[in-house]
């Protein structure tokens, strides 16, 4: 361990906002994006005209110039896009921190608006990118099929049962019951519910999959000296990392020597090497969870469980409130909403501000990840 | 980025021999003509020695199941009609370290298992082109 002194804690999250998370928001992604950007700036107490940095996903439909025009920003000095879908969210915080620390700009908005609940399923589009050639024509049509292939091998190697895997979905659904913003609030889940629901791509069932959601999230960052003046509860970017192993293929990692050793292992190594806060110091984690098994891989890759043991840790309450590492405490992508993992960031910020619905007492250090093993990944350590 | 319909692989000068081989009933695996290392999916350069000299090996086509899924709806037309669809990631017996994805055909009542022996077959699945898929040996 050893913090990167040029970056550690030099930038801070000072504003967050999110739209309602629903199946059909009934508005355009453009309208939702403008709403959440303005709301996050209001939360930060920063005049929108001051925004001079923008960062989002290369899948985002709204352009920086359009948002800048909508909010009346006076100039744009930094803008960047991160590829690989859900793998990018934490990397955007990292890019924002880099740009702020090097005085490339003063106020950065990171945002994502996505009508994935009411809009088309990307895998159902009649035009597909070339990399899908090795998957789609053979029947691996959806992200769930690509992830289930590696999940099967993991469950087989370590003798993990469906009853053990179920505890990921059950724990997150339980968190969501206290969260009025969660799509599944009021819909409890029992072990019988889990074991009897329909399979989507065996070994994964419906409840191992994230929620198709319409929604938007925005996050405002500035340099920490100003952040401390703006709010009593700035959330500092302590460390950040991106990672993917050599030989990686989009969404799959099927062709390397060990397909179970994916991007999170590399990102974790980089992250902890740049951080004075280690895994043992993390009070709350938000692991990218587009599918349940990603949480198991990441608990192991980030050092919270020995290889092959994560499912038993989860079954023993490790990721529940009161456990060693409360995880995805708003319900995560499985039970709150799937907004490409951006809602995991806002939940981490609420935990560190002390106003989460499932508050971890005195939470000071949070880990957030993006992408898991099914995309080139990124991660941040946040501290209050 | 090349765009193609989901059932039609994107064929280019690098991977064309794989698809031409499949149409002729041969499984073609790319091989570096300088250092001899095999690789799949096909790519322009050998990651080991960076040579762009390429040959193609034709293994027997026997393999073991490394992992598999069984895909249930919602699936696109073509696969929806034949669901549930077992799809395997197989490891070739005679070229170490090479894996390929294919549909498992004619499984009947048998439940696939990791480690099961399979053989390559060249068929059209779900109305797509003729591609290498697999059957139990």
pLDDT reported for residue B102: 97
A59 CB burial (10 A radius; 0-12, 13-18, 19+):
middle
β-strand partners of A111: A218
Q: Are A382 and A235 a contacting pair, CB within 8 Å?
A: yes
Inter-chain contacts counted by CB atoms under 8 A, chains A and B:
115
- Please indicate whether, in this complex, the C-beta atoms of B10 and A150 are within 8 angstroms of each other: no
Most A CBs within 10 Å, among B13, B68, B101, B115, to test the A interface: B101
Q: Which residues of A are known catalytic residues?
A: 288, 338
Give CA separation, A140 vs A143, A301, B6, B9, in Å: 8, 26, 10, 13
Share of chain A above pLDDT 70, in %: 100
Identify any residues that bridge with B100 across adjacent strands, giving them in sequence order: B90
Cross-chain Cβ contact A202/B40 below 8 Å: no
- Interface check for A162 against chain B (CB to CB < 8 A): the answer is no
Instruction: Decide if A202 and B72 are in contact by the 8 Å CB cutoff.
Output: yes
- CA A26 from chain centre, in angstroms, equals 24
What integer pLDDT is reported at residue B4 of this predicted model?
Answer: 57
The distance of A140 to chain B (nearest Cα, Å) reads 7
Q: Which residue has the tokens 């050599």?
A: A246
Nearest to B7 by CA among A282, A116, A128, A361: A128
> What DSSP string runs through B30-74?
EEETTT--EESS--SS-TTT----EEEE----EEEEEEEEEE-SS
pLDDT band, very low/low/confident/very high, at B1 (cuts 50, 70, 90): very low
pLDDT at B6 over 80: no
Which residues in chain A touch residue B125, judged by CB atoms under 8 angstroms apart?
A: 137-139
- For residue A23, give both structure tokens: 């199946």
Say which residues have a Cβ less than 8 Å from residue B109's Cβ, sequence separation at least 6.
none
The closest alpha carbon to B61, from B34, B33, B21, belongs to B21
Q: What is the pLDDT of residue A251?
A: 87
Cα of A266 vs its chain's centroid, Å: 17
The CB density around residue B61, as the number of other CB atoms within 10 Å, is 21
Residues of A in contact with B70 (CB under 8 A): 199, 201-202
Nearest to A353 by CA among A171, A165, A242, A227: A227
> In angstroms, what separates the C-alpha of A110 from chain B's closest C-alpha?
26
Q: Report CA-CA distances (Å) from A221 to A38, A46, B31.
A: 14, 10, 49
Q: For residue A293, what are its two tokens? A: 């098994």
Residue A188 has a pLDDT of 98
Q: Which two tokens stand for residue A330?
A: 């708003």
Give all strands of the β-sheet with A377-383 in edge-to-edge order: A78-82, A53-57, A107-115, A214-223, A11-18, A235-243, A377-383, A365-370, A284-286
Q: How far is the C-alpha of A270 from the C-alpha of A242, rounded, in Å?
A: 8
CA angle A56, A60, A63 (to 5 degrees): 80
Quick check: B5 and A247 CB within 8 A?
A: no
CB B99 within 8 A of CB A254: yes
Q: What local confidence, expressed as pLDDT, does residue A1 receive?
A: 56
The CA distance from B27 to the nearest CA of chain A, in Å, is 14
Q: Hey, how many other C-beta atoms are within 10 angstroms of the C-beta on A238? A: 25
Long-range contacts of A124-128 (CB under 8 A, 24+ apart): A124/B76, A125/B6, A126/B5, A126/B6, A127/B3, A127/B4, A127/B5, A128/B3, A128/B4, A128/B5, A128/B6
pLDDT < 70 regions, chain A: 1
DSSP annotation of A380 reads: E
For A242-298, the pLDDT digits (tens) are 999 999 988 889 999 999 998 999 999 999 999 999 999 999 999 999 999 999 999
Q: Is A171 on the interface with B (CB under 8 A)?
A: no
Chain B residues in contact with A145 by the CB 8 A cut-off are 69, 71, 87
pTM of the model: 0.97
Nearest to A259 by CA among A228, A293, A214, A222: A293
Q: How many CA atoms lie within 13 A of B93 on its CB side?
A: 12
Integer Rg of chain A from CA = 19
- Interchain proximity B84–A136, CB inside 8 Å: no
Can you tell me the distance from the alpha carbon of A116 to that of A346, in angstroms, rounded to the nearest whole number? 19
Provide the token pair at B52. 């762009």
What is the predicted pLDDT for the residue at A137?
93
CB spacing of A149 vs B114 below 8 angstroms: no
Partners of A254 on chain B (C-beta within 8 Å) are: 89, 99, 101
């Amino acid at each position: 361990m050893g913090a990167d002194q040029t970056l550690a804690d030099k930038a801070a999250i000072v504003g967050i906002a999110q739209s309602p998370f629903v199946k059909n928001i009934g508005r355009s992604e453009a309208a939702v994006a403008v709403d959440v950007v303005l709301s996050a700036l209001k939360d930060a107490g920063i005049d929108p005209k001051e925004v001079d940095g923008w960062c989002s996903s290369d899948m985002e439909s709204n352009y920086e110039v359009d948002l800048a025009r909508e909010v009346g920003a006076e100039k744009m000095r930094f803008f960047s896009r991160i590829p690989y879908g859900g793998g990018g969210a934490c990397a955007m915080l990292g890019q924002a921190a880099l740009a702020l620390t090097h005085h490339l700009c003063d106020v950065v908005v990171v945002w994502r608006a996505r009508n994935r609940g009411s809009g088309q399923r990307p895998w159902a589009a009649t035009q597909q990118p070339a990399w899908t050639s090795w998957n789609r024509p053979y029947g691996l049509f959806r992200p769930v099929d690509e992830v289930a292939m590696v999940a099967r091998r993991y469950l087989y190697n370590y003798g993990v049962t469906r009853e053990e895997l179920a505890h990921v979905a059950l724990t997150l659904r339980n968190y969501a019951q206290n969260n009025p913003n969660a799509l599944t609030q009021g819909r409890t889940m029992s072990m019988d519910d889990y074991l009897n629901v329909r399979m989507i791509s065996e070994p994964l069932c419906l409840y191992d999959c994230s929620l198709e959601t319409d929604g938007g999230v925005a996050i405002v960052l500035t340099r920490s000296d100003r952040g401390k003046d703006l709010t009593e509860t700035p959330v500092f970017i302590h460390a950040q990392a991106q990672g993917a192993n050599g030989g990686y293929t989009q969404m799959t990692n099927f062709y390397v020597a060990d397909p179970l050793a994916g991007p999170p292992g590399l990102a974790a190594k980089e992250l902890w090497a740049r951080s004075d806060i280690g895994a043992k110091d993390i009070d709350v984690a938000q692991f990218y969870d587009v599918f349940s098994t990603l949480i198991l891989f990441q608990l192991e890759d980030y050092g919270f469980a020995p290889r092959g043991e994560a499912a038993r840790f989860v079954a023993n309450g490790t990721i529940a409130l009161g456990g060693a590492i409360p995880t995805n405490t708003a319900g995560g992508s499985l039970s709150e909403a799937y907004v490409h993992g951006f809602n995991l960031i806002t939940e981490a910020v609420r935990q560190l501000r002390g106003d989460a619905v499932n508050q971890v007492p005195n939470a000071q250090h949070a880990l957030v990840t993006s992408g898991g093993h099914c995309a080139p990944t990124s991660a941040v350590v946040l501290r209050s | 980025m090349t765009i193609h319909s989901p059932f039609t692989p994107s064929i280019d000068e690098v991977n064309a021999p794989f698809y031409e081989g499949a149409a002729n009933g041969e499984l073609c695996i790319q091989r570096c003509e300088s250092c001899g290392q095999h690789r799949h999916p096909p790519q322009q350069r050998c990651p080991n020695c960076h040579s762009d000299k390429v040959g193609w090996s034709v293994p027997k086509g026997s393999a073991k199941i490394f992992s598999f899924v069984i895909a249930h709806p919602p699936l696109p037309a073509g696969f929806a009609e034949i669901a549930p669809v077992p799809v395997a990631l197989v490891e070739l017996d005679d070229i170490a370290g090479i894996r390929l994805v294919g549909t498992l055909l004619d499984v009947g009542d048998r439940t696939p298992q990791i480690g099961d022996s399979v053989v390559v077959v060249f068929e059209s699945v779900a109305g797509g082109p003729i591609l290498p898929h697999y059957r139990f040996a």
